Amino acid sequence: MKKMLKAGVLITVVGIVLLILSIMGGGVQSVEYVGWTPRIVKKEMTLKKQTVSEFENVKVNTDNVGVKIIQGNGYHVDYKGRKSLAPKISVEGKTLVIKQKAHLRTGFIFDGVTIKSDRHTSFTNTVTVTVPKDLDQISLTTSGNSDVTLSDLKLNSLALDVLDGDLHLTNTQVANSSKVKLLDGDLYLNRVAFNNGTKMEIFDGDLSLVDTSLNNVQIENHDGDVSFNRLKVAGGSYKGQDSDVNGASLEVTAGYQFNLADGDISITGAKADGYETTTTDGDNHLFNQSGSHLTQGANSGNILKVTTTDGDLNIR
């Protein structure tokens, strides 16, 4: 009981200190603790532009700094954001290294009522990496809490390994086999085309696809859900563990397979030449049919095959 009282008193004191700092500072403030000493942080913004030598790989180690990759003229890197969070930019061999200096400060945003960490708010600090339009392959790895955005790219191959951050791909076309891996982050694909044996792995993250085309792409998702709208698939498969799938407007050519363990699947507007659906310990509805194992147009070479274990299935 004494420990709980001490903890309660400590939290109250911290709250009072933050309130005083906030009032003195004129409202919503960002507060950093150095040891046990609170200090209001002035969010001094900076803009840095840096031309760099040629590279093929990108290695990112940042916290609370987003990274965006676009195609343009030449190789250069821009940073816009808090001066204290500006990372060091260098090229080592053929690798662009974006690395933040280590700091042990813990930051909070206090608005006079609530306290929240400023390490996981939406990113206002961004590194923009520009690569030439004739660069045909990109390899990127990240660590730390950084979201990554790739937009308006045309590539032959792409390798992405993102740790503890979301990945956004917009208006991007990749011609050949690629690899995408996310750990503890969501994947967003909008107007994206992947081809020829691409493999995607997602661990503890959701997948969203809009106006996207997947040609012979293999996807594995562990503990994450899927949503899609206007998705085209030609061959390939989706394998989900503890994963729900909810989508609209699915166009299938050359067949496709969903295999879910412990997950529901609902698709509206599915178009294929044939269908085969199977459920274990769940309801199964294929258009106007119901049952544990259902088929329609089973002799076709273009079949949408869906299997669920411990989950409901609804194709319409």
The CA-CA-CA angle for residues 116, 121, 123, to 5°, reads 155
CA angle, 119 as apex, 116 and 122 as ends, to 5°?
Answer: 90
Average pLDDT of span 85-106:
84
The helix/strand/coil state of 64 is coil
Average pLDDT, the chain: 87
Over its C-alpha atoms, the chain yields an Rg (Å, rounded) of 24
Tell me: pLDDT of 36 over 70.
no
Q: Decide: 278 and 284 in contact? Cβ < 8 Å.
A: yes
pLDDT for residue 5: 55
pLDDT over 80 at 243, yes or no: yes
For residue 120, name the pLDDT band (cuts at 50, 70, 90).
very low
* Residue 12: CB atoms within 10 Å: 10
Token code pair at residue 259: 């295999």
Q: How confident is the model at residue 298 (pLDDT cuts 50, 70, 90)?
A: confident
Residues paired with 143 in a beta bridge? 61
pTM above 0.75, yes or no: yes
Q: What is the rounded CA–CA span in Å between residue 209 and residue 13?
A: 47
- Who contacts 253 (Cβ-Cβ below 8 Å, separation ≥6)? 232, 233, 234, 302
Q: Reduced to 3 states, what is the DSSP secondary structure of residue 10?
A: helix
Helix (H), strand (E) at residue 23: helix 2-25
pLDDT at 44: 74
Q: Distance between CA atoms of 53 and 76, rounded to whole angstroms?
A: 8
pLDDT band at 45 (very low <50, low <70, confident <90, very high): confident
Question: How confident is residue 16, by pLDDT bands cut at 50, 70 and 90?
Answer: low
* Residue 191 pLDDT grade (very low, low, confident, very high; cuts 50, 70, 90): very high
pLDDT band at 119 (very low <50, low <70, confident <90, very high): very low
Query: CA 314 → CA 228, 233, 251, distances in Å?
Result: 15, 19, 16
pLDDT of residue 273: 97
- What share of residues in the chain are helix, strand, coil (percent, to 5)? 10, 60, 30
User: What's at 114, amino acid-wise?
Assistant: T
Position 18 confidence tier, pLDDT thresholds 50, 70, 90: low
